[in-house]
Amino acid sequence: MTASDVTARALSRYSHLDDLTRDELFQRPPEPIRAAVDVDAVGAALGAVLYVPATTPKAAERLLSNYWPSVTAMVFCLEDAIADRDLGEAEARVDEMLRQVRARVQAAGSRDSVPYVFVRVRDPRHLERLLGEWGDLAAELDGVVLPKVGADQARAFMKIVATAQAGRDRPLWGLPILEGADLAHREARLDSLLELRSVIARHRALVPCLRIGATDLSGLWGLRRPRDFTIYDLAVVRDVIADIVNVLGRDADAPPISGAVWEYVREPRVFKPRLRETPFADEFGDDEGRALRKRLLSGAIDGLVREAMLDRANGLHGKTVIHPTHAMAVDAAYAVSHEEWESAVAVAAANREGDGVTASPGGERMNEPKPHGLWAERILARARTFGVLRPDHSFFALLEIEDRRGR
């Protein structure tokens, strides 16, 4: 790989936008993603994370060549996405991927333009073996995704991750996936979550986010959400998510918790869609607005956007995706509106000054500094990596640009 093959532009959200379009859409553009260094900043920077089987042909080449400009983080899966008989081939592809990352970094002279690269392993012994086999190549990894995590599994995994820090000039992040039966089953859940909370607190400096494995959780009850439903419509899974957020997401310094994977690319519809025509008509005019809405509906993107908005409303941050076209839809949903930004800035200022309740700057809502303080902090953190839109734009503008690119 030569320097001419390397995209020099620093990795950031919506990198496919030209400078003029970016300036038109954003009051405050997203900061470069690799500017995030400490654990809190990295957790806030992880939005849509694309999972691919490690056997996927050309996945590394496409990731590193900016073939998927909306993809800023990828997980190469060696666990459930890989048949046992294919594990050797998958591990060989990961080894080659790490060599390609090294070549890309060396050609560019820095990691600033390189997407986050993670590997999902099978169990603690698998992780330990792989780290030994990779040797100094493991330095190219940003982190490891740790499946089927309960308290005992988390202890074993995080001990290995903590040991692996020796000799590295940057952290090896550990991303636990919350999907075990002890978290799903009601009678065991609270004790397991409290134990897990203690383990995560002990290793917080190495855990930028927690991930919810809703596919595995659903499978424990033989459930799979239909196209017209969100994960929050599956009552038992919704209860697990609520308890995870309650116990593991309540503290100001808690790691962000990501939303469940959306597994549909297209599927016949049963119910009337909930994506209203009015926002599209307001942003793009009647004809173009209706046409864009129709294309989003045909690709099941409306369900993904709705679930991402529900993730946000329920305190989650970012989302696992299984198709490159989904990355932009999720990241667009996390762009901060001008009204959210103004309210967050006002709440943060009121907290510093000890002020009381006021109307938001635009008069849309009530801002009460003390109860809204943590919300404001998280909005400001989100704004740094997802940007702040101008008053006359919504995240639909980002979806429209992505749709235009795909035609």
- pLDDT computed for residue 50 by the predictor: 97
What's the CA gap between 149 and 367, in Å, rounded?
Answer: 38
Using CA atoms, how far apart are residues 205 and 41, in angstroms rounded to an integer? 11
End-to-end CA distance of the chain: 30
What is d(CA 111, CA 171) in angstroms, rounded to the nearest whole number?
14
The CATH H-level superfamily of 3-334 is: Phosphoenolpyruvate-binding domains (3.20.20.60)
Sequence letter at residue 392 = D
- Structural tokens at position 286: 């009647």
Task: Give the closest residue to 173 by CA, choosing from 75, 241, 77, 247.
Answer: 75
Instruction: Give the integer Cα–Cα distance in Å for 231 and 211.
Output: 14
How many angstroms separate the CA atoms of 273 and 295, rounded? 13
Beta bridge partners, 117, equal 74
Give the separation between CA 207 and CA 42, rounded to whole angstroms.
Answer: 9
Domain boundaries, given as residue ranges, for the chain: 3-334, 340-386
The C-alpha atoms of residue 9 and residue 101 are separated, in whole angstroms, by 16
- From CA 388, how far away is CA 163, in angstroms rounded? 39
Whether the CB-CB separation of 382 and 317 falls below 8 Å is answered with yes
Phi, psi of 234 (to 5 degrees): -90, 105
Distance of alpha carbon 102 from alpha carbon 111, whole angstroms: 9
356 and 404 in contact (C-beta within 8 Å)?
no
From first to last of its 407 residues, the chain has per-residue pLDDT tens of: 343 344 457 898 988 788 898 999 999 999 999 999 899 999 999 999 999 999 999 999 999 998 998 999 999 999 999 999 999 999 999 999 999 999 999 999 999 999 999 999 999 999 999 999 999 999 999 999 999 998 889 999 999 999 999 888 899 999 999 998 999 999 999 999 999 999 999 999 999 999 999 999 999 999 998 888 899 999 999 999 999 999 999 988 999 999 999 887 765 555 555 666 666 666 767 667 666 665 665 556 778 888 999 999 999 999 999 998 889 889 999 999 999 999 999 999 998 888 888 878 887 888 888 999 999 999 999 999 999 999 988 887 787 766 565 55
Identify which of 188, 181, 171, 180 has the alpha carbon closest to the alpha carbon of residue 147.
Answer: 180
Phi, psi of 275 (to 5 degrees): -85, 105
Is the dihedral angle over the CA atoms 212, 174, 313, 406 positive or is it negative?
negative
| Residue among 258, 266, 241, 179 at smallest CA distance from 215 | 179
- What is d(CA 46, CA 386) in angstroms, rounded to the nearest whole number? 10
53-82 residue pLDDT tens: 999 999 999 999 989 989 999 999 999 999
Choose among 121, 190, 196: nearest CA to 161. Answer: 121
6 secondary structure, DSSP code: S
Angle between helices 235-248 and 186-202 (to 10 degrees): 30
Dist. CA 403–CA 399, nearest whole Å: 6
Strands 26-28 and 388-389: antiparallel
As a whole number of angstroms, the distance between CA 380 and CA 261 comes to: 25
Written as six digits, the tokens of 299 are: 């690709």
Structure tokens at 292: 């864009």
- Residue-level pLDDT at 4: 38
Buried b (16+ CB within 10 A) or exposed e, 149-176: bbbebbbbbbebbeebeeeeeebbbbbb
